[in-house]
Each structure stands twice: as C-alpha cells, then as structure tokens.
Amino acid sequence: MSFLDRIDECRVFDDSKYRPFRVEGAEVGLVDHALTDLLADYTEAFHVGRGEIGFAADLKTPSARSRTIAAVLDDLRGRGEIKGWRDEPFPVAASHAAPILFTMERAAVPRFGVRAYGVHVNGVVRDGESLRMWIARRSPNKQTEPGKLDQIVAGGQPAGLGLRENLVKECAEEADIPAKLARRAVAVSAVSYRTERREGLRRDVEFCYDLELPPGFEPRNTDGEVAGFELWPIERVIEAVRDTDAFKFNCSLVIIDFLIRHGFIEPDHPDYVALITGLRGLQA
Amino acid sequence: MSFLDRIDECRVFDDSKYRPFRVEGAEVGLVDHALTDLLADYTEAFHVGRGEIGFAADLKTPSARSRTIAAVLDDLRGRGEIKGWRDEPFPVAASHAAPILFTMERAAVPRFGVRAYGVHVNGVVRDGESLRMWIARRSPNKQTEPGKLDQIVAGGQPAGLGLRENLVKECAEEADIPAKLARRAVAVSAVSYRTERREGLRRDVEFCYDLELPPGFEPRNTDGEVAGFELWPIERVIEAVRDTDAFKFNCSLVIIDFLIRHGFIEPDHPDYVALITGLRGLQA
C-alpha cells in the first residue's frame, strides 16, 4: 500500500455510467442510469433527455425547483431509494461562490452526483521538534464510515453559513474547541475528488485548515459523532495513512496534503508530483 | 489583473503546433513544426514520422543519443537556430525519478519542449505576527527575464545532483546562505505548468521550499545572477503578484502557492479552487 493508493481510492469513476444534470446551463450533478429511469416517471418534475437531465421547463425559480424535488425525494424515500435521510437542506449551485439554484435533502446529494463542500481541520500539537496530531475515531453510529479514523474536526458545509462560521461551529460541536482557539485555524489548502462510494457518487471539495493546539488542550466530543480522540506522533499518522485504510477515505487526502506541506513527504519521493496533482488536479 | 491571470500566463499552449518526441516509448518532448522541418534533414540522427519524432533506429544507448544530438545542436547553433548557449548538459528522462535517456545542451531544452525541474525557495522573516519575504531582482544580464523579480533563491535542477544538494549549492551561490541555514529549508509543494515563451515551450516542475531566515541575515549574491535583494512586507508581495507582472512568470506561481498555504488567500476567494487546481493540475 502507498500514499498513491489512497488517492486512487478517491478516483473511482466511469464516465459512461452517468448523465449530466443541468440547471440554467450549469452541470450541477451526474445521475446514474438506474436513478435516471426512476426520475423519468416524475414528468411534472424532470425532463429526461438522451444526453442530459434537467428540471421540467416550467420550474424556473429556486423555490419552485426545491419544492418539486423535495416531493420527489420524499416519494423515493418511501420507496426505499434514498437512505440515511438527514432532514438537512443542501444548497446546489454551479460552484461554491455561485448563487443557489435549488436546495435538496442532503442524503440525496451523492445519488444525484452533486458537488459538496466541507471543512477539515488538522489539529496539531508542537513540542520543540516533535509534532503530534489529534485523531478522531468516528462513532460506530455514523451513517458513513462508522469507526474509521478522522480529522479532529471535519464537517460538511451547510447552506447559509460562511466557511469560517461553520469551522468555528464544527470545532465546538465535534471537539469542544473554544471559538477563540478555533479562529486561530489557518486556511492552507483544498483537496478535491470524484469517486464512487456505497452512498453514490462523491464529488467533493474539502477546504483544509491547520490549527495548532496548546499541549494542555483535550478535545471532547459534544454531538455524539466521535467515539474518542487520540494524540498521535506524526510518524504513526504517516504509517496509518500509507500502510492501512484505517482513515476515512477523504481524511487520508487531507493528511497527505498536510504531510507534503510540512516536508514529511519530500520531492525525492517517486510519487511526489503524482500525489500533488492527484490531490487537486481532478475537477470534482 | 488577478492571481488567476498569473496562472493563465503559464498555460499558453496550442496542442496542434507540436509533435511528440518519443524515446523508448516515453514522450520526452514536444517539437514545433518549424524545428521538425529542420530536424528532418538530419536523417542519421532522427526519424521524423507523421505523428511523432524519435531518434534514428540504431541510436539505442544514452551515450550514442547524447553524442548524436550534441552534433546536431552544434550545427543548429552555427545556423543561429539555438540561442543562449550555456554549455550545460541537461538530463532527459521520462520523469524526474526515471533513468536518463540522453543528455542535451540546456539552451535547447525549451526548443524541444522537454520537461525541466527546478528548486525555488521562499525566504521569509517572521517577527511576531508580521511576515516579510526576501525578493531578488534578476540581473539585467540574465538571458531569461532580466530585471524581473524572483525568489531569494531559485535554480534549475542539473544532472548528477540531488535536489537538496542543488538547493544548498544555489543558496550559497545566489544569496550566500550558509549550508547549515539552507538545510533548514522545508519542502512544501511543487508547481507545474506548460506554456509558450520567447525561448520555446516551457514544461517545468518547480519544487518549492520555505526557509525561515533570522532577522539579522542579509543575502548577498556571489554569482552575478542577482542585481540586488529587498525585504518586503508580505502585503507588498501580494499586491505585486496580484496587480502587476513585476515577478518572473513562474515565480508568481511559487508565491501564490505560498500565499495559499499560509492563509493569505482564503477559501472565500472566488478563484480559490481554480488557483489550487491551476498551480499543479496541468501535466507539464
């Protein structure tokens, strides 16, 4: 196993299996053929063409589209087609900074191959030359990847919050990090990927932050999403990412990016350029 | 002008103008049609096919290829076709870590669209919350981009030296940085690009290092390549890269990468993902 294997696990994608979902000219999703066949029955909601899918022509506003797709998804949920319902509206737009085209239930996002955004925090403790990293173990009750290792704080980007606001909120909920400390997090990078998972097609951009924590700080989970935290020497983190699949798939990418930025993976590594390109070369 | 303009200046490329130069199955160069016509006359050296160029079939060893292309380039130099002769053998391989397939005069590298590698050092001085960066002004006598702004230390990767050895050597020559201090440089990233310049097609991977310098250190050029050094507040560096073309084209990319890694460009910048992808998404 190698660092590059972690990246390859995040680019499992077969173009021929999907049809673009377009709204106002922008490709906002990729829908597989099975879901396409289901959606074709909801003619009041969708127009299913040979090369693409879109909303029905009379659904011209974000609120009309959102109401309509909500009814369809509720019906599909009743038929057992949408699993892991979260009751959380997810904003769909042409890009992160663009206006919202409609909102949809978050659980359906990977089924529609819609791009999502999140924040991931590398929580580290420096002590002279030594560097340790706080590692979270995901709760056995999480819907995706229960029990896997994770960043100290990571979360999806919801509608209506700024990235920094979301970061501070997630820091409080997931690790009881006070706002004053959380605000010291430095934006450092983004990783992106497009890959097929059990839940559907994940097309994510994860914004990465480094947060140096004082040696005396102890994270404490408050929202039930984390089973526990451990403070690992960076060497142990390196081995776990390189040699095992103990980390959640996208958390591995965030750590490889960290290792490159801090000189723990050096340019004489034979995969150095492939790693750097692979972490964000692909459009999600 | 914007950060993204700096990246766009590093991806001026028209595929239809070039033919791949292949050696032992690997594409090691991209040759434009004018040079292709010239090379077609050297039938003892090259085989010019419709879709690609290669060495003549009997040139099977690195030394035979190197000797043969040296004679051709010497002839082309006499005809005024290769300018800025450096008398410096450049190793050509399928990738940075791969075995050398042949060597060629460095001045001909962009004419053949051969990939090159280099090291760039961000030399910074921290003082509490403030950050300053040492900026070099290139000598008016440099063959490429005289008078432009540059990193404190940057140089091409020659044959037979490791990256770290080259870094220490360049630090000594370009800025009189003692080896002990130079070895503190941390490998942090790589930027890559493929772009047409006056000298030909530049396809480079630049390995980036951050080096924190003590406030009392004063760089001093010893090889005549730098006209002078200035210590700039990071805000002035940001403005110069974003709003002007004062920096050498690839040095701008190294600085944009630095600004992202250190949180001076944040994810709410509308071009954040495009910048991160553009810095290393393209294969060089």
- Please report residues of B whose CB lies closer than 8 A to that of A273: 95-96, 190, 192, 205, 280
Distances (CA, A) of B54 to A61, A233, B11, B44: 58, 50, 26, 11
Interface check for A98 against chain B (CB to CB < 8 A): the answer is: no
Task: Please determine, for residue B97, whether its predicted confidence score (pLDDT) is greater than 90.
Answer: no
**A175 and A235 belong to one structural domain:** yes
The structure tokens listed for B268 are 């709410």
Of the residues B114, B136, B155, which one is the last residue of a structural domain?
A: B114
B140 and B57, same structural domain? no
Res. A255: pLDDT tops 80: yes
Token pair for A278 = 């692979």
Contact A188 B270 (CB under 8 A): no
pLDDT digits (tens, 9 = 90+) for A27-83: 999 999 999 999 999 999 999 998 999 999 999 999 999 999 999 999 999 999 999
Asked if residue A283 belongs to a domain, the reply is no
In angstroms, how far is CA A111 from the centroid of its own chain? 14
Could A192 and B277 be called an inter-chain contact, meaning their C-beta atoms sit closer than 8 Å? yes
CA-based Rg of chain B, rounded to a whole angstrom?
Answer: 20
Q: Sorting pLDDT into bands at 50, 70 and 90, what band is B281? A: low
Helix, coil or strand: residue A128: coil
What is the predicted pLDDT for the residue at A143? 81
pLDDT for A280 equals: 82
Tell me the three state secondary structure of residue A33: helix
Residues A91 and A151 in one domain: no
Query: In angstroms, what CA-CA distances link B278 with A188, B2, B272?
Result: 16, 13, 10
User: Are A202 and A110 within 8 A, CB to CB?
Assistant: yes
Question: Could you write out the DSSP letters of every residue in chain B?
Answer: --HHHHHHTT----GGGEEEEEETTEEEEEEEHHHHHHHTT-TTTEEE-SS-EEE-TT--SHHHHHHHHHHHHHHHHHTT-S-S----EEEEESSTTSPEEEEEEGGGTTTTT-EEEEEEEEEEEEETTEEEEEEEEEPTT-SSSTT-EEESEEEE--TT--HHHHHHHHHHHHH---HHHHTT-EEEEEEEEEEEETTEEEEEEEEEEEEE--TT-----SSS-EEEEEEEEHHHHHHHHHH---B-HHHHHHHHHHHHHTTSS-TTSTTHHHHHHHHHSS--
**pLDDT at residue B166 greater than cutoff 70:** yes
pLDDT at B240: 98
Give residues 155 to 174 of B whose Cβ lies within 8 Å of A: 162-164
- Closest-CA distance, B270 to chain A, in angstroms, reads 6
Tell how strand A115-127 and strand A130-138 pair up.
antiparallel
Q: What is the pLDDT of residue A159?
A: 76
Question: How far is Cα of residue A249 from the mean position of the Cα atoms in its chain?
Answer: 10
Residue B276 CB: number of other CB atoms within 10 A? 24
- What integer is the mean pLDDT of A168-189? 98
Please, which pLDDT band fits residue A122 given cuts at 50, 70 and 90? very high
Assess whether pLDDT exceeds 80 at residue A281.
no
Domain end, chosen from B114, B144, B176, is at B114
Distance separating alpha carbons of residues B29 and B23, to the nearest angstrom: 9
Of A164, A267, A280, which is closest to B187 when you measure between CB atoms? A267
- For the cut 80, the answer to whether the pLDDT of residue B284 exceeds it is no
Mean pLDDT on B30-42 = 96
Residue B283 has pLDDT above 80, yes or no: no
Statement to judge: residues A215 and A127 lie in one domain = yes
- pLDDT of A229 higher than 60: yes
Whether A230 is in a domain gets the answer yes
Burial letters for B125-144: b for 16+ Cβ neighbours within 10 Å, e otherwise? beeeeebbbbbbbbbeebee
- Whose CA is closest to A96, among A32, A142, A163? A163
The H or E element spanning position A34 is: helix A33-39
Question: Residue A60 falls within a domain, yes or no?
Answer: yes
CATH number of the domain bearing residue B174 = 3.90.79.10
Dihedrals phi, psi of A275, to nearest 5 degrees: -65, -50
Structural domain includes residue B226: yes
Evaluate whether residue B7 is within a structural domain.
yes
Distance CA A254, CA A133 (A): 13
Report strand pairing: B53-55 vs B89-93. unpaired
Percent of chain B scored above 90 by pLDDT?
88
B267 contacts A207? CB cut-off 8 A: yes
Residue of A183, A265, A268 to mutate for B, most B C-beta atoms under 10 A: A268
Inter-residue contact A189 to A120 (CB < 8 Å): no
Question: Do A261 and B189 count as a contact with CB atoms less than 8 A apart?
Answer: yes
Lookup: tokens for A56: 């029905």
- What single letter denotes the amino acid at residue A63? S
Whole-angstrom distance, CA of residue B271 vs CA of residue A48: 32
Task: Indicate whether A260 and A184 sit together in one domain.
Answer: yes
Q: Are A278 and A7 in contact (CB under 8 A)?
A: yes
- Closest Cβ opposite residue B205 in set A164, A273, A282: A273
Q: Are residues A132 and A109 in the same domain?
A: no
Domain boundary among B98, B114, B130: B114
Out of B164, B262, B273, the one facing A190 most closely (by C-beta) is: B273
Q: Is A158 exposed, middle or buried (0-12, 13-18, 19+ CB in 10 A)?
A: middle
Residues A160 and A268 in one domain: yes
Q: Residue B160's pLDDT is what?
A: 79
A283 contact residues in B (CB cutoff 8 A): 277
Q: Is residue B206 domain-shared with residue B130, that is, in the same domain?
A: yes
First to last CA, chain A: 24
CB < 8 Å from B in window 196-215 of A: 205, 207
Q: Which of A156, A159, A153, A188 is nearest to A172 (CA)?
A: A153
Q: What is the pLDDT of residues B49-79, one digit of tens each?
A: 989 999 999 999 999 999 999 999 999 999 9
- A128 part of a folded domain: yes
Are residues A200 and A270 both part of a single domain? yes
What Cα–Cα distance (Å) separates residue B4 from each residue in A223, B110, B234, B265?
Answer: 40, 24, 19, 12
Indicate the average pLDDT of chain A.
94
Q: Indicate which CATH number applies to the domain containing A21.
A: 3.30.750.160
Looking at the structure, do residues B109 and B152 belong to the same domain, yes or no? Answer: no
Number of domains in chain B: 2
Residue pair A275/A256 in contact by the 8 Å Cβ criterion: yes
Q: Compute CA distances B162 → B165, B169, B195, whole Å.
A: 5, 10, 26
How would you list the strands of the sheet with A18-23, edge to edge?
Answer: A26-32, A18-23, A53-55, A46-48
> How many Cβ atoms from other residues are within 10 Å of residue A233's Cβ?
12
Same domain, A130 and A109: no
pLDDT at B282 exceeding the cut of 60: no
User: Which tokens go with A230?
Assistant: 């451990």
The whole-number average pLDDT for the span B29-48 is 96
pLDDT tens-digit map of B199-220: 899 999 999 999 999 999 999 9
Q: Are A123 and A133 in contact (CB under 8 A)?
A: yes
Cβ pair B273:A192 closer than 8 A? yes
Q: Is residue B211 domain-shared with residue B136, that is, in the same domain?
A: yes
What is the Cα–Cα distance from A215 to A115, expressed in whole angstroms?
Answer: 37
Task: Using the structure block, give the residue that is written with the tokens 């050096």.
Answer: A266
Find the domain containing B25 and state its range.
15-114
Report if residue B284 sits inside a domain.
no
- Nearest Cα of chain A lies from the Cα of B272 at a distance, in angstroms, of 9
Where do we find the tokens 């050597």?
B169
> Quick check: is B109 in a domain?
yes
Which DSSP helix (H) or strand (E) runs through A67?
helix A62-78
